[in-house]
Amino acid sequence: MPTYKIAHIIGKGVDVVVFPVAGSFGLRSHEEQIALIKVFQAKSKAAGFNGNVVVVWDGEGGKVNFRAPPNQHEYFQNVTSAFIDAHLNKTISW
């Protein structure tokens, strides 16, 4: 049964469910990434969370790599791993 610590962030009219994942996520094909994001979206909705799923993994210089809706790219370009870690506030299991 997978368990994920997530950051459920609500602010400025945006509701986001952030799933930190292993760095190997970035090595997966585009199709595999999209399929996993769809699973995360379905599981987060089933757990009662609203909002878009954003997947993040460690990047260079403390920044994160991410897969997010285009309208959230500007925000996540400035997000650090420390910020995500500080906002992990929920758990999802299935």
Q: Which residue has the tokens 């996993």?
A: 36
- What pLDDT digit, counting tens, does each position of 33-70 carry? 999 999 999 999 999 998 999 999 998 888 999 999 99
8-state DSSP, 90 = E
Q: Yes or no: say if 38 and 46 are a contact pair by the CB < 8 Å rule.
A: no
Domain count, the chain: 1
Which CATH number characterizes residue 17's domain?
Answer: 3.40.1350
| d(C-alpha 64, C-alpha 77), whole Å | 8
Order of all β-strands in the sheet with 52-58: 64-67, 52-58, 14-20, 3-11, 90-93
63-83 residue pLDDT tens? 999 999 998 999 899 899 999
pTM of the model: 0.93
Task: Give me the domain span that covers residue 37.
Answer: 3-93
